[in-house]
Chains A and B, each alone.
Chain A
Amino acid sequence: MGFSAVFANIAILINGFVVTIQLSIIAIVLGTLLGSLLGILRALDFRILSGTIRAYVAVFRGTPLLMQLFFAFFGLPMLGFDVDRAAAAVVALTSYSGAYISEIVYGGIIAVAKDQGDAAKAVGLSFWQMMRFVVLPQAMVVTLAPLVSWYIGVVKDTTVASVIGYTDLLRNATAVVAVTNSPFETYLVTAGFFFLLTVPMGRVVAILEARTARGWQ
């Protein structure tokens, strides 16, 4: 009982922590790639494409992440996909993050786009030159702070995987609770593990927000 029992089982928590980190990194990288692609495509302003992307965003922002995870884990196999717990978690987190990140990226682009786009076109830049040298560099600065903020959420959202039995930090914490009979102490220590990730990330967000406010000096 108590903290000593929890620390006796610390290896289980550490294993779970490592899995959570891995899942977070994969979801963040893939989600950012997907979201950036969708955000940029949406900025092209082609009617059908924009409409499709907006529908995608509405679906994945309008339904619970946990439900999307169940859909991936239980539903996809019925369509013939061989989906294990890890894959289901990655698919659900990626598609969910992609939707939100596409909004962040799109917002950043249109915040920059109009006048800067005019100026870039005026000196004869092609569309991709304009995006690469003028719009995206500026949009990236604007989106960085909201993005990292979102990433903090992703780290916490990985815990949905525990519901389908994936051995992440939270799942392993519940296992430790079963062994030690000390939920309070166990979850307190678990919170500490999460802080190891979220507190530094929060600091990064604060720095980015300050730099964005300062502008181009």
Chain B
Amino acid sequence: MPYGRKTPPAVNLDGRQPIEIVDAVKSFGHITVLRGLSLTVGPGEVVVLIGASGSGKSTLLRCIVGLETLDAGDIRSVGLSVREKHNLRAIRTHVGIVFQQFNLFPHLSAVDNVTLGPRLVLHQSREEARAQGLALLGRVGLADKADSYPLKLSGGQQQRVAIARALAMEPAAILFDEVTSALDPELVGEVLAVMRQLAQDGMTMLVVSHEMKFARDVADRVVFIDEGVIVEEGNPDLIFTEPRDPRTRQFLRRVLEH
């Protein structure tokens, strides 16, 4: 079960849902990755997607922020449809994403990585942006690394900078695409700790992860995806202890046996 929520979400959503996925269909060539998937993430909710590789989880996240285009169906972020190209930049300011490979800008320092978006897109002044950037880096535990360059940081530190970068856009929701999968095991904890704190602070989060303990502790809802559709979803305790669908049971058996 999740911790008690301390603060409500900061963004005024006006009754709109942060993320609404409706019958999403996406193919790459002959391979259909998403087969009519529907999912809604409510304000302050932490939803964890689990499933085998290739089940479409990462593709779904990329479709939400328009890095891939849907073949059919729709995704609305804070009411904006991803099918209308002119919405994409606005959607991307409302929904942040943190990638598995961090994807920090190597030619910019940590704080410059964090402030680039706010300065160019939110039109913050250099001072404003830097102040916010330093505060966010402090929040992820990296205030002393503000002027360091990504290559000098460990994987865990880079990923925390990436989270700060996403937070800097003051999003309504943040997507996490297997953000600890590329990390050495001893660095995973520091990133999960930041994510736990974010969840407790009321951030709306859609997380693709293999970290089952994290899902169990932090998620409001766990969603099992297989072959491009939702097979089963619900309360994490229920899903992990009494999965109803045989495919869920099989997946959990394989994963939890490590």
Q: Which residues of A contact B (CB under 8 A)?
A: 115-116, 118-126, 129, 133-134, 137-138, 141, 215-217
Contact = CB atoms under 8 A, between A and B. Distances in A.
Interface residues of B, number: 29
Contacts, number: 68
22 contacts: A118-B67, A118-B99, A119-B104, A122-B99, A122-B166, A123-B92, A123-B166, A123-B168, A123-B169, A124-B89, A124-B92, A124-B121, A124-B169, A125-B116, A125-B117, A125-B121, A138-B105, A138-B106, A141-B107, A216-B106, A216-B107, A217-B152
B99 A119 contact: yes
Contact of A122 (B96, B106, B149, B152): B96
A115 B168 CA distance: 20
Contacts of A124: 89-90, 92-93, 117, 121, 169
A109 B78 CA distance: 33
Nearest to B162: A119
Contact of B103 (A118, A126, A141, A217): A118
Interface in B86-133: 88-90, 92-93, 96-97, 99, 101, 103-107, 116-117, 120-121
A138 B89 CA distance: 23
B174 to A, nearest CB: 10
B117 A216 contact: no
A215 B106 CA distance: 9
B162 to A, nearest CB: 8
B256 interface: no
Contact of B105 (A116, A126, A141, A215): A116
A115 B117 contact: no
Given A126-B89, A216-B151, A119 B105 contact: yes
A116 B90 CA distance: 19
Contacts of B76: none
Contacts of B89: 124, 126
A138 B150 CA distance: 14
Contacts of B105: 116, 119-120, 134, 138
Contacts of B120: 125, 129, 133
Contact of A123 (B66, B116, B151): B116
B82 interface: no
Contacts of B99: 115, 118-119, 122
A116 B120 CA distance: 16
A119 B102 CA distance: 9
B219 interface: no
B57 interface: no
A116 B151 contact: no
A145 B74 CA distance: 46
B176 to A, nearest CB: 12
A137 B120 CA distance: 16
A123 B116 CA distance: 8
A20 to B, nearest CB: 36
Enumerate the 8 nearest inter-chain pairs by beta-carbon distance, A residue then B residue, closest first.
Answer: A123-B117, A119-B103, A124-B121, A124-B92, A216-B106, A124-B93, A115-B103, A122-B97
